[in-house]
Structure 1
Amino acid sequence: MPTRLWVSGLGFPRRAGTDLTTGGAAFRRPAGLAAVCRLLPVMALAALAGCATTGDDDASAQRARPAMDAALARLPAAAAGFERDAVQDVAPGDATAGKVVEYVTPRRVAVAYVFLYDLGRPAVRDADLPPEVERAVNEATALPSDRTGRQLSVAQRYTVPARGGDLSCAALEGNFGRTRVERQVCVGVADGRFLRVQVTMPSLAAPSADARAFAAEVAGAARGGETAPR
């Protein structure tokens, strides 16, 4: 009988300046100083333009980002053998923590969670991913202090190809009591939000679900791909 798994839960040169005559002696501004003086206003304008561009980009991305309900509606009713279940707030009262959607296989042999969140950023970008990947992996290996006999550690790092960009993933292995388990945690960006996909299942000779296929399907749907009707 399959194990039922319940999981709780990521410058240009210029010549010297004009002669200034005092008592018959000629003085010239050093060429380097003249160049710096000329460049300072240009550099200031460039810096201002850069700030304006970044701000404009963030504002544009925020306007283009779908509302949370619309983003959740993109997630499929079923993917890679998992069926969609409940939607919950990750942290009630904190909108920046986002929402989480649970997926399960028959008899809850494997359980998956799909998180969408922004941590208060107006627009999440690929450059924001590296520290968030590490945070997700640390949280995925952390287990409740009141649950003894549970441990997980990173076994492998890899990427999962998906529509709209690869996901950064880690495979974890360990034990929940006497049950050997494996967990996959993947992180990517979906329309200005972080997307985290976590799958946990027993370690069996014949895996009960395809965690990589599930992550790829869900990521593609979250980024605007076709979803199964609900």
Structure 2
Amino acid sequence: MLAAALLAACAATEGGGGPAAPIPPASGPEALAARLPAEAAGLRRGSDTALSDPLPGREVAYATANRQAAAFVQVLRPAAPLPDGPASAAAQAEYARWKDAATGQASRNRRLAVVREAEVAGLFRCAMLEGSYGRQPVESTVCVGAAGGQLLRLRVSMPRREPAAADAQAFVREVAAALRR
């Protein structure tokens, strides 16, 4: 009963719209990566690459037509299948590690800081970051969650300007919706 309450709480978050049906277990990262959309929020799917570090899996690249915004989704095979969403200990630990890696590499030429954190679409815990690469103001969104037993990492990055080159939150929501199909 506690697990059901936690899943319902995760689904009722930003972009969640209420409880969502669990995502059927994938036979592995390849099967789940195959569910990712050809396009999401104006970012088009690109290369699909095998990964071995930090875990075995797949990375699917995305970019806008003009390459002003870039993204990727990583589908990783954890040691044991994970429940959907960002609430498992493994997903929480990876979120903390990955957020720290994104913000902890500050140098004279690269700085990023967390401006907001939120759960998105019931599958991801995300940190919205702002900073600069040299003189270029940038924004980035890093997310971690789980679906179909697999660990998910996602990142969207672009120059910071008005209007934005892409809608990172819409990208995350559309990826989550595709994984639920």
Q: Same fold (TM over 0.5)?
A: yes
Q: Structure 1 residue runs of 4+, over 6 Å off?
A: none
1:150 lines up with 2:105 in the alignment: no
String of CA shifts for 1:91-143, please: whole Å, max 9, x gaps.
3xx58342211100012100001011134x22123322221210121222254
Structure holding more strand per residue:
2
Provide the aligned length of Structure 1 versus Structure 2: 154
String of CA shifts for 1:150-195, please: whole Å, max 9, x gaps.
11111111121x2xx2421111111111100000011111111111
Q: What is the rounded CA distance, in whole Å, between the counterparts of 1:68 and 1:184 in structure 2? A: 22
User: Which residue of the other structure, out of 125, 146, 149, is the alignment partner of 1:168?
Assistant: 125
Identity among equivalent positions (%) equals 38
Q: Which SS does the other structure have where 1:107 is aligned?
A: coil
Correspondence for 1:54 = none
Asked if structure 2 preserves the Cα contact closer than 8 Å seen for 1:79 and 1:218, the reply is yes
- 1:69-88 matches, cutoff 5 A: 69-88=30-49
User: Which residue of the other structure, out of 44, 47, 62, is the alignment partner of 1:103?
Assistant: 62
Structure 2, unpaired ranges of 5+: 1-23
Displacement of 1:64 = 4.0
Structure 2 length as normaliser, TM-score? 0.76
- The root-mean-square deviation of aligned C-alpha atoms, in Å, is 2.2
User: Which residue of the other structure, out of 124, 129, 135, is the alignment partner of 2:82?
Assistant: 124
Q: Which SS does the other structure have where 1:201 is aligned?
A: strand
Correspondence for 2:18 = none
Q: Which SS does the other structure have where 1:205 is aligned?
A: coil
1:135 lines up with 2:92 in the alignment: no
**Larger Cα-atom Rg:** 1
Instruction: Determine which structure has greater relative contact order: mean sequence separation of CA pairs < 8 Å that are 6+ residues apart, divided by chain length.
Output: 2
Asked if structure 2 preserves the Cα contact closer than 8 Å seen for 1:201 and 1:208, the reply is yes
Structure 1 length as normaliser, TM-score? 0.61
